[in-house]
């Protein structure tokens, strides 16, 4: 699938590694059944079964689809960035050790970096 043309707001986050304002994204409190895919390339990233309400202002997942997300330290070394393995789009950051779920992992993802595909009924 070819990369999608991004709006300036999408480009600021996805390409230039920005962050959308907390509680502003459409998927923060979204709990429908389906799959979250990369906004830029359409690759599957997260399943709704792994989404939880971390009350942090961004969509949170405690697992990614295996092989879909790449982790790398931020330049300052303080956080771990997560990117789409397929196209390198900036998704957000991953945190471990917070004890919010049994998996003890929180992928804190910008809504603007994803699209949602509802499960077929």
Helix (H), strand (E) counts: the chain: 1, 9
CA distance 52 to 70: 21
- Whether residue 1 is predicted with pLDDT greater than 70 in this model: the reply is no
Name the catalytic one among 41, 56, 87, 108. 108
| Pairing state between β 80-84 and 90-96 | antiparallel
User: Residue 121: its pLDDT value, please?
Assistant: 74
User: Residue 4: its pLDDT value, please?
Assistant: 86
Cα 95-61-97 angle, rounded to 5 deg? 30
CA-CA distances (angstroms) from residue 73 to 51, 67, 82, 83? 23, 18, 9, 11
- Whether residue 45 is predicted with pLDDT greater than 90 in this model: the reply is yes
Contact 54, 31 (CB under 8 A): no
Query: Any idea which fold 8-118 has?
Result: 2.170.150
* Total-model pTM: 0.95
Q: Is 108 a catalytic residue?
A: yes
Domain boundaries, the chain: 8-118
DSSP type of residue 105: E
């Amino acid at each position: 699938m070819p990369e999608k043309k991004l709006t300036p707001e999408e480009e600021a986050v996805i390409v230039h590694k920005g962050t959308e304002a907390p509680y502003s994204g459409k998927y923060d409190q979204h709990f429908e059944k389906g799959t979250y895919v990369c906004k830029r390339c359409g690759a599957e990233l997260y399943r709704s079964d792994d989404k939880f309400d971390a009350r942090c202002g961004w969509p949170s997942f405690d697992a990614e689809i295996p092989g879909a997300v790449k982790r790398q330290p931020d330049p300052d070394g303080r956080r771990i960035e997560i990117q789409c393995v397929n196209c390198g789009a900036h998704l957000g950051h991953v945190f471990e050790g917070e004890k919010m779920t049994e998996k003890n992992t929180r992928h804190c993802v910008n809504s603007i970096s994803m699209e949602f595909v509802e499960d077929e009924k």
